[in-house]
Amino acid sequence: MISFKNRQNNSDRDRDRLSHPNKIALAKDFKINLPISIPQIISKLFLSFLFLIIVALLLNGCNAFNPKNGSLEGEVHCQTSFSTSPLADALINISGSSNTAYSDQDGYFLLSEVPAGKRTLTIIKEGYTTLKLLNVYIEPDIVNKVYFGDPIILQPKEDTALYDTAMEYLKQKDYQQALDVFIELRNTFPDSIWADDAQYYIGNIYEKNGLYISARDEYSLLLLYYPSSPWADDARLGIGNCYYQTSDYYHARIQYQTVIDNYPLSDLLPFAQYRIAWCSKRMDNYDEAINDFQQVITLYLQSSYAPPSQYFIAEIYYDLGYYNKAIDAFQETINNYPLATWPDEKRLIAPAAYFFIGYCYEQQEMWQDAIDNYGVIIAQYPGSTWDDGKSISQQAQSRIDYIREYYLPPEEENSD
């Protein structure tokens, strides 16, 4: 019975297939049009969602791949014992941007191309406490101002505070107060970035006040403990100055030559060579002095020491009684440096050169030539003075009056 029943069921199934021939085709169609898989559905939804986001950003005027930027400007000051003052060379950076800036001599800085939004501003300067300003908001397409234009104040570290205080005293020419603070800085913070500065200024203050032995010793300490200091050439020159001021020209010359030999890139070389020439002159080594002054002219023609070097070559010739050579050298001073002044002064060199030309002519009894050169001073340089403040033009007039009275009678002068 069981086998018959199964057989009957199978024949019924066959009759159904014959009576409904389209069922097989419908089943095939149904399999072909089955829904897509779940991962495919998620992928399509994600792409559609991303497309909608991009369209929305574009419609709102934003570009996610090129955000809007703004700029930021400000001023950096440092706190001193007396007030605040602009701080140069402070490093400024801001979060969200690789751009950096340094403050200039007025403390001003400008950061460009900073992405808009809330940022953190960082100010770094050696010797000062690093400052971070949070929530600095950058508006796009404008120049934003830190603190609405008020300066950012950096607080110095203790050694820097001492240095700033000492420098303030030095600017006020309160040398004793400055000296005390520099000594405190050096002794308390021997490894400070300002320690070599303090050591130099200690020597410099002693030198300014005529305490040359103490100054020389302090300069020597700088070279001993801080040989790589940027003040090393100044200290070596200072030692030379101390020997020079105490009339030890032999050792002064050695120190000045050491400046030239050891610090070939120093801006002190023209003065060192000029002082070498003066050491030779002070020691009455006149030929050597002439050569040394000529070295200043040859090697450092554009320096402020070239014109007086030419003048002192002429003066040496005058001192030796070589009046014609002196006249030529003085005239060369006038021709080559007509507007030159004495170093660190406003006084012109030319009037003094004219005066000595006149005096050389007097020594040769060439009275009219002497008067002519003295006359140039009176006509062209009426306000000229010697280094002691006395009037050159008045002295020139006195020489003219003297010549006319004793050596050039009126009738002889008129006949010329």
Q: Where are the alpha helices (DSSP H) in 134-210?
A: 158-171, 175-188, 195-208
With beta carbons less than 8 A apart as the criterion, state whether 205 and 182 touch.
yes
Top-confidence residue, 3 or 66: 66
C-beta neighbour count of 267 within 10 angstroms: 9
pLDDT at 80: 82
With beta carbons less than 8 A apart as the criterion, state whether 119 and 94 touch.
yes
pLDDT at 381: 97
DSSP state of 34: P
Per the prediction, the chain carries an average pLDDT of 88
When mean pLDDT is compared across 80-84, 85-89, 258-262, 368-372, the lowest value belongs to 80-84
CA distance 275 to 269: 10
- CB neighbour burial string for 44-81, b if at least 16 within 10 angstroms, e if fewer: eeeeeeeeeeeeeeeeeeeeeeeeebbbbebbbbbbbe
Residues of the chain with pLDDT > 70: what percent? 82
**What is the β-pairing status of strands 152-154 and 69-79?**
parallel
pLDDT at 83: 84
Mean pLDDT value across residues 83-93: 93
pLDDT at 242: 98
Which pLDDT band, with edges at 50, 70 and 90, does 53 fall under? low
pLDDT at 125: 95
Tokens 């030319």 belong to which residue? Answer: 350
pLDDT at 61: 41
Top mean-pLDDT range of 45-49, 51-55, 284-288 = 284-288
pLDDT at 11: 43
pLDDT at 82: 75
pLDDT at 397: 97
Sign of CA dihedral 259, 261, 266, 272: positive
Is residue 358 pLDDT above 60, yes or no?
yes
Is residue 25 pLDDT above 80, yes or no?
no
Is residue 239 pLDDT above 60, yes or no?
yes
pLDDT at 40: 66
Is residue 35 pLDDT above 80, yes or no?
no
pTM (predicted TM-score): 0.73
Sign of CA dihedral 296, 297, 303, 308: positive
74 φ/ψ angles, rounded to the nearest 5 degrees:
-175, 180
With beta carbons less than 8 A apart as the criterion, state whether 393 and 382 touch.
yes
Report pLDDT digits (tens) over 286-333: 999 999 999 999 999 999 999 999 999 999 999 999 999 999 999 999
Q: What angle do CA 318, 320, 323 make, to 5 degrees?
A: 40
pLDDT at 81: 73
pLDDT at 411: 58
Q: What angle do CA 245, 318, 330 make, to 5 degrees?
A: 95
DSSP state of 302: T
pLDDT at 340: 97
CA distance 219 to 336: 38
Is residue 2 pLDDT above 90, yes or no?
no
Mean pLDDT value across residues 46-75: 66
CA distances from 267 to 230, 232, 260, 277 (A): 12, 12, 10, 18
pLDDT at 52: 65
Give CB contacts under 8 A, 24+ apart, made by 346-353.
Answer: 347/384, 347/385, 347/387, 348/381, 348/384, 349/307, 349/308, 349/311, 350/381, 351/377, 351/380, 351/381, 351/384, 351/392, 351/393, 352/311, 352/384, 352/386, 352/392, 353/311, 353/314
Is residue 344 pLDDT above 70, yes or no?
yes
With beta carbons less than 8 A apart as the criterion, state whether 130 and 124 touch.
yes
User: Which residues neighbour 44 within 8 Å (Cβ) at sequence distance 6 or greater?
Assistant: none
When mean pLDDT is compared across 117-126, 187-196, 400-409, the lowest value belongs to 400-409
Which pLDDT band, with edges at 50, 70 and 90, does 31 fall under? very low
- CB neighbour burial string for 95-111, b if at least 16 within 10 angstroms, e if fewer: eebebebebeeebebeb
Mean pLDDT value across residues 49-74: 65
CA distance 74 to 131: 14
Top-confidence residue, 51 or 70: 70
Report pLDDT digits (tens) over 247-282: 999 999 999 999 999 999 999 999 999 999 999 999
CA distance 261 to 257: 6
